[in-house]
Amino acid sequence: MTDRELIDQFRRTRRPGDLLPLYGRYAELMYGWCLRYLGTPQRAEDAGAELFPVLLTKLASHDVTNYRAWLQTLVRNHCLMQLRREKRDPLRQTRGSLMHSDELLHLREEAAEAPDTRALHRCLRRLAAEQQRCIRLFYLQEGLSYRDIAEQLALSVGQVRSHLQNGRRNLKTCLESQYPLDKTDSP
């Protein structure tokens, strides 16, 4: 079922179980957005869980045409409100914000754990121009929808879908040629 069909079904029945397939479909994306705003996996998971009851309430009363864009706005607002609440209440702040030296430790840990993305960017530059633009807009710049990218680049939605599919395949091939899997690494 499409997003729209799932939303319509939920609005008719108002059963939380009817919203679970839609929630599951976007759970990873929501987690990624929450992680971007909140900074830690635990906080992102908590925020994702908190969003289900919010979705139940909001979808019952809002007519949503572009679910992904609407959901991204909802997640952003939820995370920003959480950050504002924490800023007002020092007891809710994370330990790191209460200790001056912890900030330096956090930066060192972050630098040590930060993935090396040079190979990805090198491979991205090797893609055909349209594939590169579509990949950047869809994955690296606020996750625009196919329709938004099509309008921005004066392409059809089918062309955007094709450029994304071919671009992902070409990126995978390029990255695998730079970092071949060990026989023991493959599933």
- Radius of gyration over alpha carbons of the chain, in Å? 20
Cα 26 to Cα 78, 162, 167, distances in angstroms: 16, 21, 22
Contacts (Cβ under 8 Å, ≥6 apart) of 105: none
pTM of the model: 0.47
pLDDT at 113 over 70: no
- Report, as an integer, the average pLDDT of 133-162: 80
Res 142: pLDDT: 56
Q: Where are the domains of the chain?
A: 3-109, 118-178
What's the residue count for the chain? 187
Query: 118-178 in CATH: which number?
Result: 1.10.10.10
- pLDDT confidence band for 152 (50 / 70 / 90): confident
Pick left, alpha or beta for residue 62 (phi over 0 → left; psi -120 to 50 → alpha; otherwise beta): beta
Kindly state the tokens that stand for 33: 């957005």
What is the residue-averaged pLDDT of the chain? Answer: 79
Alpha carbons 137 and 159: distance in angstroms, whole number: 14
Q: What is the pLDDT of residues 117-128, one digit of tens each?
A: 677 778 888 889
Fold for domain 3-109? Rna Polymerase Sigma Factor; Chain: A (1.10.1740)
pLDDT at 97: 43
Would you place residue 96 in the very low, low, confident or very high pLDDT band (cuts 50, 70, 90)? very low
Alpha carbon of residue 184 to chain centroid: 31
Amino acid letter, residue 28: E
